[in-house]
Amino acid sequence: MSSHHTNPRSLLNAATRSLIERVERAGRPPMAVMTPLQAREFYDIGGPMLDLQPAPQVDRVEDIQIPARDGHAMPARLYAPRSEVALPVLLYIHGGGFSVGSLTTHDVLCRQLSRLGHCAVVSLDYRLAPEHRFPTAVLDSWDALNWLRQQGQALGLDTTRLAVGGDSAGGTLATVCALMARDAGLALCLQLLFYPGCIGRQDTASHHTFAEGFMLDKQTVDWFFANYIDEADRDDWRFAPMNAPDHSGLAPAWIGLAECDPLVDEGVQYADKLRMAGVPVDLEIYKGVVHGFITMGRAIPDALQAHADAGRALRAAFEVRDARSSRI
């Protein structure tokens, strides 16, 4: 990637550079010095300020609950366009380092994916660390995917056409769900991954190049992972999907990465790993933008391009499955 740049900040596009300068001038404290509750509140209020306003219109927005295996009722939100037929569905798992993020922080993105993907989107409020450490988020995500497969018809969804997606930590969880789905014989149409975390140790070149001054800094990454996982578990493939013993037979992947992101190298490596295993991969790298940009549509216009690309990938994946099932 771009690890040999003398000044990596010269890679940023104008909108992203301007945003970072505004954030630096505002002098906001890093999440790592906050309590998890403070960090969540801060992200719930501050995050949406960078996103599209007003939120895009979707015909149907409905709060639901999804049971986890231990009886916990997970809040979730269903988005869907008006439709005469049962819609395919994307389970969307939000980012936030397993520690922050909510239905609120990813509301605009889920509306966009529903509109542009011509599908239903179910956004999941899985349990967060440090109150709920690894592997709770994995199990919550997997339980939600299974519940949608089994109960989605009651919500008017076409559960034969199911996809899983997420950004950052949510991208990790979506990646892991795709691996678990393959092992359980649950056929997914697509795994839709925005800058997913894929490795157990943050030692790629991009982690060094973009460690400071690119929105997601090393201190925050370390804080997220300390909240979530024990050092001894960091090589578990349910945290580091690159370590899964076998990547063949997985659902096709659409992977959208940010060029100036500590996680960009592992995203490229994971795309390569999938391709080597024979999995169809569509990889997009958005130039000059940083980690988190897809929920910053007001500040970083490239987010709109990424939304459109992801929507197109969803439509295509669901149409392929639809054509296949109508021939059977």
Residues with active-site annotation:
168, 261, 291
Query: Which pairing describes strands 120-124 and 73-80: parallel, antiparallel, or unpaired?
Result: antiparallel
Beta partners for 67?
A: 73
Distance (Å, whole) CA 286 – CA 303? 9
State the amino acid at position 164 in one-letter form. Answer: V
Distance (Å, whole) CA 245 – CA 322? 31
* Strand, coil or helix: 139: helix
Distance (Å, whole) CA 314 – CA 163? 8
Beta partners for 60?
A: 80
Distance (Å, whole) CA 309 – CA 64? 28
Nearest one of 245, 252, 238, 248 to 198, comparing CA atoms: 238
State the amino acid at position 269 in one-letter form. Answer: Q
> Residues 140, 164: contact at Cβ < 8 Å?
no
